[in-house]
Structure 1
Amino acid sequence: IEESQAEEAAMADATPYAAQGHRVTYGLIGVNILVFLLMAFTGANLLAPSGEDLIRWGANYLPYTLGGEPWRLFTACFVHIGILHLLLNMYALFQQGIFLESVLGRTRLLTAYIATGLISSLTSLWWHRNDMVVSAGASGAIFGLFGVFGALLTSKLLPDSVRKQLLGSIGAVIVINLLYGLKAGIDNSAHVGGLVSGFIIGQLFLPGLKKKQRGAARISTAIVLAAVIACGSYVALHPDSRLQFETALEQFPAHEAKGLQPFGHDTTVVALIGELDAAQVHWDSARTLLRRTGNLRLSDADVRRRNLLEQYTELRAQQNRLARRQLLGEEGAADSLNALDTAIDKVLQQ
């Protein structure tokens, strides 16, 4: 009995925040559920939301995240890929959050979730830097809490009997989940990033926990700030211009359609000359549009696309000018037009 009472006293000593309740845990679960419900109400599939829906709601997608939307590193931690994904993650968050909030307190728990969530998203971004992967879910942050748990279990903060029991069960859960994460379609890189960063953050929490220091604001602020700086530095040093490039290219078909409008219908010579003059403005605009993308950092494939579009635009502009000269009776314009038609066909075939 005395041994049991001593263990209970040690456990109570290790969970000084138990009386404060579990507002952060329930709050995080509530936010995750709310985001999913909003997704569903706006038309996202409950079982398997489309990539477009996930991206619209803030999933981590490299061309967008590194293309001017770095906030996705944070919002991705609250977006889930179907109701099963949500339920599994919320169950894991509930199981860990209830215990950890009693040990760490609200501030440290919230810090761990946010900081490891950011680092797990950043790890995913780095790991999939050459892929087009849409990453979302709270699992990176949840693995971060596993890491914090691991740090606690390496200390004498918890009673030995509890620590040994948790070490076996938590270790087994981590190994099983990491092995399951090797399955296609699961972003294991985020799990590993969250786990490692969580362990480091847990170690940073330990001195204050051992000294029974209630104030965690300073270390928590430093940890979140470090995570934000790490994310901001990576985003700043690795800009991705694909989104800007694709946005610019979305305007090209409209200029092309206007530029080709004079061809393919019967009209008077005077009217056609006027149409060719108007079309020339659109080919000039298309050329300016493409030149503005010249300073963007693009992949070799996108550079080739831009070069081909520039060649095509220049040939069409020349075709437009020659057609006008032919209408005005200039000799040799017809032969030059035939040669241009051949050159345009070659570019289109590429």
Structure 2
Amino acid sequence: MENSYAAVASEKEDDQLLEILGEHAAYEPEAILALIAEIEKRNLQAPDLEQIKQETLQALQQRELQLNPEPAGPTSFADKFKDFWTLFVPQRHYFVTPILVNINIVIFVLLVLTGMHVLSPEGEDLLNAGSNYGPYTLTGEPWRLFTAMFLHIGIIHLLVNMYALASIGGALEPLVGRKQFITAYVLCGLAGSLASLWWDQQRNGAGASGAIFGMFGMFMTMVLLERRMTWAEKKGMVYNMLGVIALNLVFGLQGGIDNAAHTGGLVLGIAYGAVLMLRSGRYFTQQYNLRGSIVTVALLLVAFVGLYLQIPTENAKYLTMLDRFGERETAAMDVMKEMELDATLINGGKYLPGLEQGITLWDESIKELIALQELPDLGEQQAKEVEILLNYTQLRKTSYQMMRDDIQSNQPWMHSKQQQVLWAISTYVQELNDLRGGEEPEPTASENEIPVRMEVDDLEKLDPDAKPLFVIDGEPLEQMNPDDVEKIIHPDDIASVTVLKGKEAVALYGEQARNGVVLITKKKE
């Protein structure tokens, strides 16, 4: 083979030799070495001749090592330690990979130092660090598609991924060069994040797995398409890659592992590897036309943006609303907890700022829930939950307005009308729990029940007879105001309280239970 290359080179004119040398990346290393030997023989002046010669020799040596790896002999502990540390040190043909490994490790260490658990990080810590969570990523934070690639869910996750990255990076980066390696890594990571979003918007995703799977797929594709090696030379590497990929995908079928991200990165890695092979004429090379690289990356990024914009966002907006609703509800209920603990001071005015803040928070939730109702593709159960939450929130706002007005007028706030409002609120809480538990919720509306959209002034029009039926240890009492029940049974003597409503209440206790039933069980003496 070498003699044939030398014979061909000897027949070329001087200018032809120099022209071929300028395009050395497109030819086999043996051909270029024969060409250089002919140029040196003729004493021709060629720019960068020695550098091209050294690069060609290194490429030839790298290929030989991949095809015929030398058996590792026994090494000392010092040698093994030295070899281990080289995984983290950038070198000429292993430059980007250790930098990526180091970045992932440093980020993990910094997060642990700020309080993240080293083995099982909390979801909130990952969210704060930039994990890929649909309700956030799809509602104004698309940068999480990128940052999630550098976060890991515990040290085991980190070590496994970094070992895989160092392994594939050590084989692939010398073949395609630094620029193509880092470009492919980022693109495959983004593809994995997007695939994860399409599959499960409620997953809190993090990790470099999508990018790493892409590197494995890219390497396997490039080996398959490379024209210089025979199948006998390729099949060992191809079967090895297929085994690694299949094993990890099967392992990923277990719960908690983001196989969608793995698959997304793998598919893009296979496609990107095929594109690189076609661009190079199906040879391994580090030299790629800059314009072609820019066009390839631009097209992929446009495709990513298109896919991102096509992801249905109704569920993400719903989940985001639930998070915000929970935060507002917690803040708004703080003043209620204080009032319950220190009821003697409720008319002192100290709670007015808290009530005003609560009214504002409930009002913000009402506006957001109304906007959510207008989404065209909201699921049936989600729409029902939004409706119940809206009714609940409007009553909470009414309750707070009543408390504020009572305190301002130096009146007791826990009167019968307030108790009716709180009882109506409890029915919506129960209805929501039934719905989420898979039960068909009973309707809460009745002709005498508190109107959901009622303003404070409308409370004066309430039917004073609209009271629930109280049943103590199975014995129905006459309908009465809730505050009168304390005259019959002391709160400390109550073991449990159950609220029945709608058809269930009427079926058990007749028409007198049309406004609901409060079942009270006494503590056993």
Task: Give the TM-score, by structure 2 length.
Answer: 0.56
Alignment of 1:1-350 (within 5 A): 9=30, 15=59, 20-129=92-201, 132-160=202-230, 161-210=232-281, 214-237=287-310, 238-239=312-313, 240-241=316-317, 242-258=319-335, 265-266=343-344, 281-282=356-357, 284-293=359-368, 294-296=370-372, 299-300=382-383, 303-304=386-387, 306-317=389-400, 319-320=402-403, 323=406, 336-337=417-418, 339-350=420-431
- SS of alignment partner, residue 225 of structure 2: coil
User: Which structure's CA Rg is the greater one?
Assistant: 2
CA distance in 2, matches of 1:89, 1:173: 13
State the 1:292 CA deviation.
Answer: 2.8
Shift of 1:126: 1.0
Which amino acid in 1 is paired with 2:327?
E
Task: Spell out, residue by residue over 1:7-37, the C-alpha distance to the aligned partner (whole angstroms, 9 max, x if none).
Answer: 9959x69948969422111211121222222
Instruction: Give the superposed CA RMSD.
Output: 3.9
C-alpha separation in 2, matches of 1:216 and 1:276: 70
- Say if 2:196 and 2:258, in contact at 8 Å, map to a contact too: yes
Cα distance change of structure 1 residues 155 and 290 upon mapping to structure 2, 3 Å threshold = same
User: 1:119: Cα distance to partner?
Assistant: 0.3
Q: 1:144, 1:196 within 8 Å by CA — same for their partners in 2?
A: yes
Q: Percent identity?
A: 33
Which amino acid letter does the alignment assign opposite residue 393 of structure 2?
E
The structure that is helix-richer by fraction is 1
Q: Give, in angstroms, the shift of residue 152 of structure 1.
A: 0.9
- C-alpha distance in 2, partners of 1:286/1:183? 41
Deviation of 1:116 after TM superposition, in Å, equals 0.7
Q: CA offset at residue 206 of structure 1?
A: 1.1
Task: Give 1:64 deviation, angstroms.
Answer: 2.0
Q: How many residues align?
A: 341
SS at match of 1:154: helix
Partner amino acid, structure 1, of 2:367: R
Structure 2: how far apart are the matches of 1:40 and 1:277?
42
SS of the equivalent of 1:313 reads helix
Shift in Å at residue 166 of structure 1? 0.9
Residues of 1 paired with 2:338 and 2:247: CA distance?
A: 62
Decide whether aligned partners of structure 1 residues 217 and 14 sit closer, same or farther in structure 2, where only a CA change above 3 A counts. farther
Once the two structures are overlaid, the 10-residue window that deviates more, 244-253 or 142-151, is 244-253
Change (3 A) 1:275 1:45: closer
CA contact (8 A) 1:17 1:105 kept: no
CA–CA distance in 2 between the matches of 1:16 and 1:118? 34
Distance in 2 between residues matched to 1:257 and 1:53, nearest whole Å:
24
Question: 1:34–1:9: structure 2 CA closer, same or farther, 3 Å change rule?
Answer: farther
Q: Helix, strand or coil: the match of 1:250?
A: helix
Matching residue of 1:331: none
Which residue identity does 2:250 align to in structure 1?
L
Q: Give the whole-Å Cα distance in 1 for the aligned partners of 2:57 and 2:270.
A: 22
**Residue type of the partner of 2:363?**
T
Q: 1:219 to 1:97 in 2, by over 3 A?
A: farther
Q: Which has the higher contact order (CA 8 A, sep 6+)?
A: 1
User: How many angstroms does 1:143 deviate by?
Assistant: 0.8
Q: TM-score, normalised by structure 1?
A: 0.80
Could you tell me whether the CA contact under 8 Å between 2:328 and 2:362 is conserved in 1?
Answer: no
Over 3 Å counting, the alpha-carbon distance change for 1:90 and 1:289 in structure 2 is same
Q: SS of the residue aligned with 1:142?
A: helix
- Partner deviation per Cα, 1:118-161 (whole Å, 9 max, x = no partner): 001111111113xx322221111111011111221231345224
Task: After superposing the two structures, state which structure 1 stretch, 250-259 or 14-23, moved more.
Answer: 14-23
Measured after TM superposition, the shift of residue 244 of structure 1 is 5.0
Partners of 2:367 and 2:94 lie apart in 1 by 53
CA separation of 1:13/1:140 partners in 2, compared to 1, >3 Å: closer, same or farther? farther
Q: Mark the CA change 1:281 to 1:148 in structure 2 (over 3 Å): closer, same or farther.
A: same
Q: Flag the 1:342–1:323 CA change in 2: closer, same or farther, 3 A.
A: farther
SS in 2 for 1:251: helix
> Which whole-Å CA distance do the structure 1 matches of 2:308 and 2:299 have between them?
14
8 Å contact kept, 2:189–2:265:
yes
Pair 1:247–1:104, CA change in 2 (3 A): same
**CA separation of 1:262/1:187 partners in 2, compared to 1, >3 Å: closer, same or farther?**
closer
Question: Which whole-Å CA distance do the structure 1 matches of 2:145 and 2:321 have between them?
Answer: 19
Aligned partners of 2:361, 2:116: CA distance in 1, in Å?
Answer: 36
What secondary structure sits across from 2:148 in the alignment? helix
Letter paired with 2:99 = G
Q: For residues 224-246 of structure 1, give each alpha carbon's deviation from its aligned partner in whole angstroms, at most 9, with x where no partner exists.
A: 43444344334444332233552
Q: Per the alignment, in what secondary structure is the counterpart of residue 288 of structure 2?
A: coil
Equivalent residue letter for 2:93: G
